[in-house]
Amino acid sequence: MSTEPRAPAEAGGFIDGTKKILTVTLVAAVSAAVLGFVHSRTKDAVALAELGEQIEAFGFVLTEFDNEPLTTGREIEPPGGAAIGAERAMLFEAKVGDETVGYAVALETTRAYGPLIRLLVGARPDGTVTGVYILDHEETPGLGAKVTEGHRLWRSRDQAEGRPFLFQFANRRPGEQGFRVREDGGDIDSITASTITSRAVAEAITVAARAVQEVSGMIPATTRESEPEAPQSDQSEAPPERPSPTELKRRALALVLPEFDNRPLETAREVALPRGEALGSPRGVAYEARHGDELVGLAILISNQHGHEGVIELLVGGRPDGAVTGIFVLAHRETPGIADEVFDGQEAWKTPEEAGEEPYLFQFKGRRPGEYGFRIVQDGGDLDAVSGATVTSRAVARAVTVAARAIQAIGQAEEGEESE
């Protein structure tokens, strides 16, 4: 083999060169470990296809190298990995001659919107990110799935359309606080209406880059003590499983929308939000509720970055005239025990008798935002804020205002099309 470094952009040549290596011995000795990490229960043919994709991905995320990174794979415990569901990861070494010029870390995160995201992160020995490739995901098409944009173009970023989310990590090290999205006080712009996905990927890239720094001796190795055993429960029944993010959104749509006979989740489309910039959310996602061909309602997925503890993500349902039919908070980091009352009743829009004393959210039911929008009493409006949770109450009222106005705009546009 030539000792001259080869450009990873020539991924096809790299794959051709590695075909000779994919012998029975390699598949048995190396591939077993890699495939066990990437997808332990796949059939052999599918597994080999996934292996081929990972080989190709090395050419996208690593700088120049003249070895075969796949053959260097070893399992590691990445620092901070347990917090994202990545107690184990695979580390691969890129070399030019005898010099290590970079590493690639294959890991997964369970903190995404879908069940998990598997990714390959390339970095120089000092932890500077050189590329990120999404190996597998189940994020929502048109939303979180945009995380893959540009992941094959690290060596030719000028060919990418717009500014892909992943490119924000190029040539950067995670720093003391790690990579964080703006909603968490960082400088990474989240994918529109996909804060959870964006946060999960930023956290995973942080873990991968720090693993490289640890292996290179740039940061001290983390001492990992065994986790204390969880106390045994007296109950024989296991706790109920949390619904998947997709199932949660499907259930939330059924709660906040008027009766429908279509599949609102399949109608998702990105929309501009009137005055959404004030919330840090200029765009959101709209879902349609229909009876036959008639539009009977809309739901808007919206985020407000100005909750007391950061971002609040909610789904607001309404009739085409903007009258609110339901509100469901999908994600937040507000203070437990204080802000909880702001979100009470969101499961009871179809069964209000189960809500007990009227919850804060029910004050919006059947109302349109009007000229000044929904406002709490402290801001000159008529909504009673939850005691001790004024900031959270205000954040929700402002988000519902923006969402209801977006619903009105879409409803008016639909009515105009029908009258033509």
**Residue with the two structure tokens 């909880």:** 340
Percentage of the chain lying above the pLDDT 70 cut: 80
B/e letters for 325-338, b = 16+ CB within 10 Å, e = fewer, are bbbbbbbbebeeee
Strand partners, 290: 295
By C-alpha distance, which of 163, 196, 158, 202 is closest to 180? 202
Q: How is the beta sheet containing 283-291 ordered, strand by strand?
A: 269-272, 283-291, 294-307, 310-318, 324-331
Token pair in block for residue 10: 């020539």
* pLDDT score, position 111: 87
Q: At what angle do helices 44-61 and 32-39 cross, to 10 degrees?
A: 90
Q: Is the pLDDT of residue 196 over 90?
A: no
Model-level pTM greater than 0.75? no
Token pair in block for residue 400: 């519902």
* pLDDT score, position 37: 52
For residues 312 and 396, the answer to whether their CB atoms sit within 8 Å is yes
Give the lowest-confidence range in 46-60, 181-195, 251-265: 46-60
By C-alpha distance, which of 340, 350, 355 is closest to 386? 340
Contacting residues for 91 by C-beta, under 8 A, at least 6 apart? 73, 74, 75, 76, 103, 104, 105, 211, 212, 215
Cα Rg, the chain, nearest whole Å: 25
Contacting residues for 49 by C-beta, under 8 A, at least 6 apart? none
Token pair in block for residue 385: 């804020």
Looking at residue 4, its amino acid is: E
User: How confident is the model over 33-52, as pLDDT tens digits?
Assistant: 554 554 444 344 444 455 66
* pLDDT score, position 50: 58
User: How confident is the model over 230-269, as pLDDT tens digits?
Assistant: 334 344 444 445 566 677 888 999 999 999 999 998 898 8
Instruction: Quote the CA–CA distance of 397 and 375 in Å, as a whole number.
Output: 6
Instruction: Quote the CA–CA distance of 357 and 348 in Å, as a whole number.
Output: 12
User: How confident is the model over 86-132, as pLDDT tens digits?
Assistant: 889 999 999 999 999 999 999 999 888 777 899 999 999 999 999 99
Count CB atoms within 10 A of the CB of residue 2.
6
* pLDDT score, position 23: 41
